[in-house]
Structure formats: C-alpha cells, structure tokens
A and B are shown apart, each in its own frame.
Chain A
Amino acid sequence: MPKVPGMIKGLGVTFGEMVNTLKPSGGPVTVQYPHEKEEPTARARGVIALHEENCTACMLCSRECPDWCIYIEAHKTLAPPRREGGKPRQVNDLDRFSIDYSLCMYCGICVEVCPFEALFWSPEYEYSEVRIADLLHDKDRLGEWMETVPDFEPYEAGSEAKVKKVPRP
C-alpha cells in the first residue's frame, strides 16, 4: 500500500472533524455560554469564602497575601469564661474583613496559611461587576459565599491525607 501523501491525509482530518461536529453524537467541543455552562472542578479557585465563627483576626492571611488585598479590622472584647468562676477571656471581635478581588491573584496563600480554617475556596466565578469598587467583597458577602463551597473530595488510594470538613450552619 503506497504511502498516502500527507496533503491528502490532512484533508481527511479536517473533513472528519467537520463530520464529527455535525453528527448528533459528536457535536462541537465548545459550550454555548451563557446558555450552557461548564462545571468547574471542586477544587477550582473561584472565590474565597469566610466562615466568621472560626476567624480570630490573627492577621496571618492579610500579612501573607502577596498583593495585600485583605483588609482586616478587629477590636478586643471580653468573652464570657468557659467554666463557672473563671476569668473572662480576651477575644478579637471582627469588625471588617474585606477581600479586594480586583487585586487578588487567586494564589490561595491566605486559605492555606489560616491556622483556624476560616477561609475556603469555592468554584463560583460569575461575580463580575460594572464598577471596580464593587469588587471589594465585605464580610457579609464573603459569608454568603460559604453556601457555594463544595465538600472536600476523598483522596486517591495510597494517600495518607485526611479529608477535611467544611463547617456548615
């Protein structure tokens, strides 16, 4: 069988692709956004969500952020003692926790570095705004993103890591 010249094979490739796209079982590879949407994976870094109860305003995330896009303000209050007859504890009360998504580079250092697991990744990506100032998400909005945080997936066989839990209300 003589070798089919490359030019003919090339024609065959494009014709085959065309037939593939038109076949009902094949279809195009594109997704007609915004009518249909693709599902990002569970770990996709879409937006950061804040679980306020865990946050102690230790400022680690704000310090480690390469872009300095996290703004935290807190004041100290006295919380009731854990046991009867104990001393009141000094805790930080969160006043302001905002992330500026116009600066954020979605590196994930803040989520990783938080010692109290107050920050979580969510695959939500449709939050574009008309004004740049609206890209500053405050504490309440970050709390709303918690609903979209998926559960952590189980790991592959052979892994020794433990699956973490996402705090749900």
Chain B
Amino acid sequence: MTVTDSQKLAYVAAQAADARVNLEFETDDGMTLNMGPQHPATHGTLRIIAKLDGEQVVSCEPLPGYMHRGYEKLCEVRTYPQVTALVNRIDWLGSFANEVPFILAAEELMGIEAPPRAQHIRTILFELSRVANISLFLGDLGIQLGGLTIGFYAFRDREHVLNQIEAVTGGRFHPNFDRIGGLKDDLPKGWIAETHTAMQKLRDFCNQAEDLLIGNEIFQARTRGVGIIPPEVALSYGLSGPNLRGSGVEWDLRKHACPKGLAYDKVDWKVWTHPDGDSFSRCWIRLQETREATKIVDQLLDTIPAGPVMAKVPRIIKVPEGEAYVETENPLGAMGYYVVSKGDLVPFRVKIRSASFNNVSIVPWVTRGVLVPDVISILASLYFILGDIDR
C-alpha cells in the first residue's frame, strides 16, 4: 500500500477501522487505536483515531458527527417558541444557557427589551445553569482520572441547583423558560431563600472538590504541564470560555462584550485567568468560576427589582426581516446564534456557533507527542459536550 500523504493515511485508517479490518500501518506511524464512539472517556459519542508509538501519541484526530441531530435545519421549520423548546437540548447540562442567546437575538430583531425584573431573573437562571454545568465537570474530572468519589458528590450537590431550576421552570434539565420579551412566569414564594441555601451548599461542594481533587498531589501531577496551549494558538483556534482564560487571555463575554438583556453590569464580580495554559489551569479556573457564579447569584437574588416579568408582545410572534448575531458566555464557552429572519413565523436560517466545536478542534494540535493517559487528561480539561459539538 503506497500512501505517502499523512492525511490520506488517516482517511484510509478510518475507513479500515470502519470496516473492522485490522490494518496495522506499522511501517509508517505506529499502532492505530480507535477510541470509538462508545468510550467512557469521551463525553458522548466522540470518535478519536489515535496513532500510537508505544504509549506515545503520534497523531490524534477527533471525528465528531455521531450525534448530529440537524438543529440548524430543524430550526428552519419551527416557530420561535418551538425553537426555544428544542434548543435546550444542545448543551444539555447548561440547559437554560442555550436559550438565552437565541432569545436575545430574536429580541434584537423585534426591537423589544425585556423588563428589568425579567433581565435580572434571566441572569440568575443563566448563572444557575453555569453552576450546574461546571459542578458536573468537577465530578466528571474525577471520574476520568480515577477518583470516582467526587463524581458522586457532584451529582449529589447538583441536585440542589436542579431542584431550584425545577421549582421555577418545571423542568430540571430542559427549562424552556425564556420567552421573547421576558420570561414565562415569575418566581414562586420562598424561592429566593431556598436558592441562597443551595448556593451555600454548592460552595461547600467546591471546597470539597478542592480538598479531594484539585488539591490532590496525584491530580496535580497528572495535569500540571500537560497540554499546554499558548495564548496565540488558543486565539487562533477559536477557543473560548475557561479554555481561553486558562491560557492567560483575559476575555469574558459577560464583562467585555455583554449583550443587552442580561444584568451583569449590576453585579460586582471577577474574571479568573491563569497564566500557565496547561490542563490544571483550566480545571482550576472552572472551580473558581463556579464559586464566582454562586456569589453572583447571591448578589442578584438580593437585588431583584419589582415589576412585570414579560413585556408587551403580540400573541403570534412574527419577527420582522433582518439578521442578528448574539454571543454569550455559556458555561462551555462562547455560544452564539446567528438568526436570519424574512418576516415569517419561522426563522429563515439559524446558525449556531457552539463553543465545544472549536474547543475540540485543538485536540490534534495539543496531543502531539503526549502519552495516552495525558490524552484523557487533556480531553477532560477541555470539557466539551457532544450535543454542543454536533448539534
């Protein structure tokens, strides 16, 4: 077999792995290991074709697409409320956060601004979804690297946040609560006090995670110095969120480019960065961001303005012609919706810029020459959700 181009080689290897033909390209690059779509280390159905030389990775190529559900096509034939219900399911852990950029884009097209109370509560729920998402990350980090206990603690303490989201919206994972012009309903009595308690419990969980995992010397030996991404490379690949801030770039959309409709300017909070750029810094930043998110929620809960929770919106929503792009700082990174409308009941085109797609694109670059366990550590620290990559 005379393939010389390494890209062609990768293609043929993928075909061979598909056809379950065990071709060993040993003369060229080493053993081909297929970390197939079903694997505990990839958060979902991500396929990674790794070429190994012993335990060292020569090249590592992720092949997403096993979970493609056709969101952008679906959105062309669904009305705006229906799209909001569907879009919850893109990043299923940060549930409310998926709806927000879409609703903000639609509000921009319609020229409607949500009342201050709605903006406030929207921000609270946004931060709650961030807490839910990243506390699961901390648990999952332990599971990937062998310390199973922290995974259980994460699920246990995340329940508090999910219960609070359920008390308001009715759904734990798919709230479907944001509406063009505000929110669907108001807060039930007693919710504010319960959420304060929940945030305290989450802070306790963060302390536990720090003692059990982040402060653990074995964990630090696994993640320090592994998977270093310099800031220029991070920017050129389009990384966002904690992955970007882990390389020392101070860029948080909530502070530097916050879209209208969210209440971040009314809160006193801090953007966390870390200069190292390795796996540890990304994990550490996420821990600090969870704590910061609980503090933001606490501040917001005490200052909710009184008022209506929904602006005056026509019954049947027909968005006027135009296009709008809104990007927000979702738990996974920067998520954006580009909505093109032709004045219909349904959007003409919705393009979803998902954070995880860019985050996973750096995997071939960052896994050159590392060992196989480091690949796991890097994938865990980059933290992508398959629903977000494949949409």
Contacts and interface: CB of A to CB of B under 8 A. Distances in A.
Interface of A: 5-7, 9-10, 12-14, 17, 29, 40-45, 64, 66, 105-109, 112-113, 121, 153-161
B1 interface: no
Contacts of B171: 44-45, 106, 108
A158 B166 contact: no
Contacts of A66: 78, 82, 85-86
Given A109-B81, A156-B192, A161-B186, A41 B309 contact: no
Contacts of A40: 166
Contacts of B192: 156
A40 B159 CA distance: 12
A155 B149 contact: no
A66 B189 CA distance: 31
Contacts of A106: 171, 174
Contacts of B167: 41-43
B63 interface: no
B189 A121 contact: no
Q: Which secondary structure dominates where chain A touches chain B?
A: loop
B275 interface: no
Interface stretch (B39-47, B213-221, B235-243, B288-296): B213-221
A13 B192 CA distance: 30
A42 B188 contact: yes
A105 B169 CA distance: 15
A42 B86 CA distance: 23
A43 B169 contact: yes
- Closest CB pairs A-B (n = 9): A6-B215, A158-B306, A107-B85, A43-B170, A66-B82, A9-B211, A159-B186, A45-B170, A156-B187
A105 to B, nearest CB: 7
B184 interface: yes
Contacts of B208: 13
B211 A13 contact: yes
* Size bin of chain B's contact surface: 35 or more
B188 A6 contact: no
Contact of A43 (B166, B189, B216, B308): B166
Contact of B187 (A12, A121, A155): A155
A106 B217 CA distance: 45
Q: Does more than half of chain B's interface fall in helix, strand or loop, or is it mixed?
A: helix
B212 interface: yes
A5 B238 CA distance: 37
B72 interface: no
B304 A158 contact: yes
A157 B189 CA distance: 8
A105 B166 contact: no
A121 B304 CA distance: 27
A1 B185 CA distance: 52
B211 A6 contact: yes
Interface string B297-309: 0000000111111
30 contacts: A6-B211, A6-B215, A6-B217, A9-B215, A10-B211, A10-B215, A10-B216, A41-B170, A42-B167, A43-B168, A43-B188, A44-B171, A45-B171, A66-B82, A66-B86, A105-B85, A107-B176, A108-B176, A109-B81, A153-B189, A155-B189, A156-B187, A156-B304, A157-B306, A158-B117, A158-B307, A159-B187, A160-B306, A161-B185, A161-B308
A112 B169 CA distance: 13
A105 B87 CA distance: 12
Nearest to B86: A66
